[in-house]
Structure 1
Amino acid sequence: MSSSHSPQRSESGNESAPGQTWEDAQEWLHDENDEDDADYAPPIDYFDIEEDDGEDWEDDGVSDHRDSQDEESGGPESLVSAAELFRFIGSEGLRRIFHAHRISGVHLDDGEGVYGAAGYRRRGSCVGAHLLPEVPSDAGRELMSSGNYGSNAYYVDEIKRRKQKLATRLMWRELATSPRLRPRAIAQDLIPSSRADKIIHYNSRCYSGSFSDDGNFFFTCAQDFKVRMYDTSNPLEWRWYKTVDYPYGQWTLTDASLSPDNRFLAYTSIRSVVCLAGTDPASDSEPVLLDFADRSGSPLHGSGFGIWSIRFSGDGRELIAGTSSQSVVVYDIESRTPTLTLENHDDDVNAVCFGDKSSPHILYSGSDDTTIKVWDRRSMGDGRAAGCFLGHSEGITYVDSKGDGRYVLSNGKDQSMKLWDLRKMMTSAKLETIDPSMYSTGFDYRYMSLSDDDYRPHPHDCSVVTFRGHRVLKTLIRCHFSPDTSTDSRYVYTGSSDGRVFIYNLDATVAGIIDVGEASFKSRQPDADPFHPAYRMGRGEMDWGNCVRDASWHPNAPILAATSWNGSNMSTGTCSVHSWSDGTDVDEGDPPAGQSYNSKLEPLQFNARPADQGGRFLGNALRGGRLTAFMAMDEDGGVDTNIW
């Protein structure tokens, strides 16, 4: 989960009380015993050196006090400055040397800069927006016409560049003028809108949320180490029925996976222990603890490694986990022992999944070493992977399988999502002749940003289609294939750090964008006291933000649920539910009636603000757009104030 130059990871393992408001990540990392955390670390002062045409170098604000001394002395024994050293070797050479040996925190001269995650940008013919993948993608167009990813629009509509309303499509279907207008072909155009039907508010960040395969179940994982379970058998009327905790968690819940029969939920934190809880609302038994490190003694303190990703096998008998120890662990639930450990990555394994729901043999693992390994458990005599997908220049944040044993989707910190075909994977023998770290830019996705001008194509890219436009920053943002029943497998979609969900056609064009940030803004009610200590004033305005970390498309209905960080300093979270509305997104209410709920789906009622409690001041501030405060109900039904 960490970048190549990982700062310290929190080891607080604090357990939050119900209704606790989580503070900003920076405040959580002032612990002297912090460990290396991939998603979060205090900001570092970086320096930036640019190269023009591979010849001249400019020092962007990093002065070297020895330059003037060297010029005056002019002797053979004078010290060589950092700038001169860079001109002699070149940034690429130094960066590759340090990156290959995993050297971080190399101080130059008087310590004014830190090498490692510094933002080097090499400009010239090999870098730039003119090298971006073509959109629309020819390979993606072929896939769209193959029938594996939905069906193409009727050629008359495509030529005239028009979109038919649902009523028009249904009319042509009844007239039977085209065999292409099957029910799924109609459903594939029903993309959820930005307007939120409901927004579920949490007092801590939401890290993930997912529907079950049958759509009857939905769960969310939050930073307060709680998993909330909802009955979604009626996708328009959700019902909360259970909340389970993770004991002795560290930092947050990192992932969760539901068994194929919906009976058990496995969830984990940055520990080697996985909790296995029953989903039956009538059962209040404690979760079963499974130690993936297989350590002696109590599994309650298992800390051999942290788990970033976990998945159930198709038969529900095994769990697969990606760990901070650069390994993939396969765990047998019945015997409660790890049966296989794969150690062939060079960095944290952030994402894992099974290739086919009907077979446990093919495994995928995505790592911060920029590779996606393909494992075949039937032929692992030498312990090597069966093959590899290479094409991301930065770490992998998520891997999803289409479930057909052929196509794989990945999100990367290089700000791109890629589609892979198992038939085009690179062999392990060829990968051994390539050093993937040579093509990494040293970019730190937590604090820096990449633009199209910084794009650098990977010379060994074996992906089929590359999708760009969303932002993979701050955290391990997830991506998915759209479901077969409700969308005809027509799209791929991903969260984004700018508060939106991007839905792409297979040819890399944008099919739709769901603006979660706009939908959730001002979705909590104003508080009566503008001087409440929960206010955080920054530069005269509230520091409000939104980052969509995960999204899940309902398998049977045109509904999408997005789990996000948001609020002041993005210290709280929401799960917003968006449905297809045929373009009728206008709602004159502010906030829309019946939209906001607490974690138990209890409506957040409007609370009038008395004038004698600062109502006039707050009203003027709200109208001026300079101050926004909201009130939410906590787990016990009390009032908890949060600033957005």
Structure 2
Amino acid sequence: MMIWTLSPNPKPPKTYSVKKSILNPSIMRRLTTELHLGNIHIEFAMDENDQSGGGDEAGRTTRLSTAQLLNILASGGLRQIFSYSGFTPGPARFGDDEDSDERDDQVYGVLGFGRRGPRRRGPPQYPKVPSDEGMKLMRSGVFGADPTYVDERMARRKSLAERIMWRELGVDVYGLHRSKTRSIAQGLIPGSTPDKIIHYDAKCYSGQFSDDGNFFFSCAQDFKVRMYDTSNPYEWKYYKTVDYPFGSWTITDATLSPDNRFLAYSSLRNLVCLAPTDPADSTDPTVLDLSATPEGRVGRGFSARSGFAVWSVRFSGDGREIVAGTGDHSVIVYDLETRQTVLRVRNHEDDVNAVCFGDRYSPHILYSGSDDSTVRIWDRRSMGDRREAGVFVGHTEGLTYVDSKGDGRYVLSNSKDQSMKLWDLRKMMSTAKFDTLEATSYGTGFDYRFELFPEDYYHPHPHDCSVVTFRGHKVLKTLIRCHFSPPGSTGSRYVYSGSENGKVYVYNLDATLAGTIDVQKVTYHSRPHKRRYAPTAGDEKWKTCVRDASWHPNAPILAATSWNGWGSSTGTCTLHAWNNNSSRDEGDPPIGEGYDSQLNPLPDFQRIAESERWREDEDGWDALGY
């Protein structure tokens, strides 16, 4: 007989204790990382008097897979049995007692644990699309070229050939057609058909181009960062691979120095690795300990043995410092020359999942996004009271990513409330006003890793100070990232995000959808199934989750890094270029071919994938898009 013991745990959340566990250590490590159960620990024990349970007739131990355990933990029965305080039964989430006051205290998530959400009634109140504020920004000239009044009124859409003709003729270049010339590049949104599909044997977590477009790196769950020469953005060359030698779970983030000489990358530890990008330099990476204070002591709340998780790391514009967001709710600035932490603030109320500098030319303004649903603005020139300069309030769930436009004014954030928001620094909320709010009391408490967001339960934050809200993509399973499109190749006309449904969503500034890149569709069956292994639950289904995407700064090319494959157990980096929606071309090599991590062709992958898709689709080659 299996005994389940749940009791209050004085230790921080996400801790577990085990008695005579029937779970192997690797599963317990994964649960420690993946489950948030509040101040609860679970003990798995076997009744010593019961010799029949937990094993087979030969006395061998029966082991549960992670999927089976999560199914048990998330079962409806346990949700109704346990609640947050004292494990007393509470009403079901959508129970019969619609008017019960107890609903205000109901909490959700796996096993029903999470933040408390307020009572809400009525249909969801989604923001207006197109956004009026977004339309003003599109006409301001700050985000790309504005279409002319005549074309807007007549709803004209000129072809690319016609716009190029006017540019080449130079007719009235300072008049009406000047805007046509500026708008040529920004209309070239990459298509779904991939130029290349780079396969990894582990989930791919992030990938970014350098600021000059000559370099690309991708991070995978096998604790490796691969680097590529992209000076010709259409023909990549493999550069080198660096390792995180003592990683935990995965590489969480990476950042490239402004001069492209060094790469800093992190894992779920307090250590950041700093590796040279020179392929001729094979030295081990330098290890930076972000838990040490300027006096050399280990910071309060840290453990020299266990450390803390670094979720996000970014280089400053001058390359002298890095800023990091951590799992102990802190923002850390680390000086690379002195090898010391020069700033550590711990004002957030939950994990800091994303950080960035506000201005690429100045290290003073910092942004941080947290699971407490806020974006906080830090001005290092005025931190005598160690308080933030202001707060962006508007998300109702935790944040997964924060990106700066680089002009010290506009900021973009992605959130588990299934929205992306644009912020203006001039509209931030003051700390005095923020102190009067219950800023974390508006969420449903759902667990984005295992559950679907209850969209019919969405209501806007009553103190939302964002400029534009973008909806349509799915921020589930993992910390999905969002970005501004680059000024060089798009005029900063768009914002874009990955999505759990296998797509990249590209939005206009008015919150309308400019285009999508369907990675799931174009990579489906792009690698053979390892049939020699016994499939686990869900392994037979091809799944794609685009976790990150990067738009080349000088060309209409986008690279999407994804969890991709059978059971979403492997990864890909797909290269998408603007090709006027063509599904094939006459160039060499052909588009859509598969490659390994070092860009060696995989003809077996291509041949088997084509035969699989032919066999499964009754329309034959229509499944390939031909």
TM-score, normalised to structure 1, is 0.79
Q: Supply the AA of the counterpart residue of 1:345.
A: H
Counterpart of 2:101, as a letter, is G
1:136 paired residue among 120, 130, 137: 130
Q: How does 1:511-522 map to 2 (within 5 A)?
A: 511-522=514-525
Q: What residue number does 1:550 align with?
A: 548
2:101 aligns with one of 80, 90, 96: 90
- Residues 144-163 of structure 1 mapped to structure 2, 5 A cutoff: 144-163=138-157
**504, 509, 525: which one aligns with 2:507:** 504
Structure 1 segment 269-280 matched on structure 2, within 5 A: 269-280=267-278
Q: Deviation of residue 302 (structure 1)?
A: 5.9
Cα distance between partner residues in 2 of 1:327 and 1:422: 21
The code of the aligned residue for 1:552 comes to S
Counterpart check, 1:533 vs 2:533: yes
Q: Distance in 2 between matches of 1:594 and 1:34?
A: 37
* 8 Å CA contact retained: 1:172, 1:178: no
Flag the 1:445–1:34 CA change in 2: closer, same or farther, 3 A.
closer
Distance in 2 between residues matched to 1:410 and 1:363, nearest whole Å: 14
Scaled by the length of structure 2, what TM-score is found? 0.81
Corresponding residue SS for 2:488: helix
| Residue 531 (structure 1) shift | 4.5
Identify the residue that residue 467 of structure 1 maps to in structure 2: 470
1:419 maps to 422
Change in Cα spacing, 1:605 to 1:9, as seen in structure 2 (3 Å) is farther
Q: Does 1:379 align with 2:371?
A: no
Change in Cα spacing, 1:453 to 1:119, as seen in structure 2 (3 Å) is: farther
Change (3 A) 1:342 1:608: closer
**Alignment gaps of 5+ in structure 2:** 1-10, 18-22, 37-65, 82-87, 619-626
Map of 1:438 onto structure 2: 441
Determine the C-alpha separation between the residues in 2 that align with 1:620 and 1:182.
45
Distance between the aligned counterparts of 1:27 and 1:586, measured in 2? Answer: 48
The one-letter amino acid of 1:168's match is E
Aligned pairs for 1:43-442 within 5 A? 43=71, 45-46=73-74, 82-83=90-91, 90-95=101-106, 114-117=111-114, 124-125=121-122, 127-128=123-124, 131-173=125-167, 174=169, 175-176=171-172, 178-181=176-179, 183-294=181-292, 303-442=306-445
Determine the C-alpha separation between the residues in 2 that align with 1:277 and 1:62: 46
Q: 1:364–1:373: 8 Å Cα contact kept in structure 2?
A: yes
Task: Kindly indicate whether the alpha-carbon contact (under 8 Å) linking 2:370 and 2:400 is maintained by their aligned counterparts in 1.
Answer: yes
Structure with larger RCO (C-alpha < 8 A, sep 6+)? 1
Indicate the SS of the match to 2:453.
Answer: coil
Confirm or deny: 8 A CA contact 1:365 1:373 kept in the other structure.
yes
CA drift of 1:91 comes to 4.3
For residues 474 and 30 of structure 2, what CA distance do their matches in structure 1 show? 32
Alpha-carbon distance between aligned partners in 2 of 1:220 and 1:604, rounded to the nearest angstrom: 19
Q: 1:521-565 CA deviation, whole Å, 9 max, x = no partner?
A: 1223x47xx841165575xx8211000000000000000000000
The code of the aligned residue for 1:533 comes to Y
Assess if the C-alpha contact under 8 Å between 2:480 and 2:497 holds in 1: yes
Alpha-carbon deviation of 1:155? 3.2
> How far is 1:38 from its partner?
6.5
User: In the alignment, which residue of structure 1 is the partner of 2:27?
Assistant: 30
Kept in 2, the 8 Å contact 1:545–1:568? The answer is yes
* Residues 224 and 252, structure 1, Cα contact 8 Å, conserved in 2: yes
Q: Which amino acid aligns with 1:389?
A: F
Contact 2:422 2:469 survives alignment (8 Å):
yes
Alignment map for 1:596-607 (pairs within 5 Å):
596-606=594-604
2:116 touches 2:441 (CA, 8 Å); kept in 1? no
Give the secondary structure class of the aligned counterpart of 2:166. helix
Q: CA shift at 1:445, angstroms?
A: 0.7
Secondary structure, aligned partner of 1:35: helix
* C-alpha separation in 2, matches of 1:588 and 1:570: 32
445-454 or 499-508, larger mean C-alpha shift:
445-454
Q: Is the 8 A contact 2:525 2:613 kept in 1?
A: no
Asked whether the 8 Å contact 1:9–1:36 carries over to 2, the reply is no
**Distance of 2:15 and 2:412 partners within structure 1:** 28
Could you say if the C-alpha distance between residues 387 and 121 of structure 1 is closer, same or farther in structure 2, counting changes exceeding 3 Å? closer
When residues 588 and 475 of structure 1 are mapped into structure 2, their CA distance, relative to the original with a 3 A threshold, is farther
Q: CA contact under 8 A between 1:151 and 1:180: conserved in structure 2?
A: no
Offset, 1:178: 1.7
The Cα offsets for residues 78-129 of structure 1, whole Å up to 9 and x where unpaired, read as xx9744997785244314xx79xxxx98xxxxxxxx332499896632x42x
Q: What is the one-letter code of the residue matched to 1:35?
A: T
- In 1: Cα distance, 2:319 partner to 2:557 partner: 27
Distance 1:519 1:596 in 2: 11
What is aligned with 1:447? 450
SS in 2 for 1:31: helix
**Code of the aligned partner of 2:429:** M
Higher mean C-alpha deviation, range 312-321 or range 162-171: 162-171
2 CA distance for matches of 1:88 and 1:384? 40
Q: Secondary structure at the match of 2:32?
A: coil
Distance change >3 Å, CA 622–CA 344, structure 1 → 2: same
Shift of 1:300: 13
Aligned length: 552
Conservation of the 8 A alpha-carbon contact between 1:549 and 1:564: yes
CA contact (8 A) 1:536 1:543 kept: no
Matched, 1:623 2:626: no
Deviations 1:371-402 (A, max 9, x none): 11100001111111000000000000000000
Q: Secondary structure at the match of 1:198?
A: strand
Q: Percent identity?
A: 56
Contact 1:546 1:567 in 2 (8 A): yes
Deviations 1:216-246 (A, max 9, x none): 0000000000000000000011000100000
The letter for the 1-side match of 2:460 is P
Between the aligned partners of 2:450 and 2:116, the Cα distance in structure 1 is: 10
Q: Is the 2:219–2:254 contact (alpha carbons within 8 Å) kept by the matching residues of 1?
A: yes
Q: 1:607 to 1:311 in 2, by over 3 A?
A: closer
1:623 is aligned with what amino acid? R
**Secondary structure class of the residue paired with 1:453:** helix
RMSD: 3.5
Any gaps of 5 or more consecutive residues in structure 1? 12-25, 49-59, 65-79, 106-113, 610-614, 627-644
1:324 maps to a residue whose letter is G
CA distance in 2, matches of 1:132, 1:324: 31
Give CA deviations for 1:27-58 in whole Å, capped at 9, x if unaligned: 9962269534469993565578xxxxxxxxxx
Tell whether the 8 Å contact from 2:421 to 2:467 is kept in structure 1 after alignment.
yes
- Structure 1 residue 513 displacement after superposition: 0.3
**Cα distance per residue 1:487-546 (max 9 Å; x no partner):** 00100000000000000000000001000111111223x47xx841165575xx821100
In structure 2, do the counterparts of structure 1 residues 568 and 592 end up closer, same or farther at CA, with 3 Å as the change threshold? Answer: farther
Write the distance in 2 (CA, Å) between the matches of 1:350 and 1:448: 19
**Distance of 2:466 and 2:285 partners within structure 1:** 40
Give CA-to-partner distance per residue, 1:325-349, whole Å, 9 cap, x none.
0000100000101010011000000
2:227 partner letter:
M
